[in-house]
Amino acid sequence: MDNVFTQYGEPTAVIRGEEVGAAVVFGLRYGRGDVLFKNGQSHPIYWRGPSAGIDTGGNASKSFTLVYGTDNIDELYRRIGGVDGSAFYIGGVSVSFLQRDQVVLAPMRVGVGFRAGVSVGYLKFTPEPGWFPF
């Protein structure tokens, strides 16, 4: 995480939320929360997306995402790809790194479940909930 702070500096926003996910080689993740920008603006945000990798299990977690490279909510409402690593054995943590153009997201998750692995995929961020992950 120190590398993210060193390379990108102070985040322009944070996303606080919660999510659930499951995988058996191929996975799905669904979440909801609020984007809080440094200027005080707050917006609801939902995310969902597929993944593939050496990843098995399921988890429910609280998430905290550092947002770099934008102070415009419209630049977040799209698909952003990245890499995820998870280790949940009853309780656990997950760290991801997502990037699209100049927008960089660094999600950190803490929660419960049984899940371990590494995967690649994307998250689709939207202003409204949805069930279709693509």
CA distance 91 to 49: 22
State the pLDDT at residue 88.
Answer: 87
pLDDT at 12: 95
Q: What CA–CA distance (Å, rounded) separates 38 from 18?
A: 21
Return the H-helix or E-strand segment holding 68.
Answer: strand 42-68
The domain ranges of the chain are 2-126
3-state secondary structure of 78: coil
pLDDT on residue 42 = 96
- Indicate the average pLDDT of the chain: 92
Domain 2-126 fold: Lipocalin (2.40.128)
- Weakly modelled stretches of the chain, pLDDT under 50: none
Tokens representing 118? 């590494």
The pLDDT of residue 3 is 62
- pLDDT for the residue 2: 56
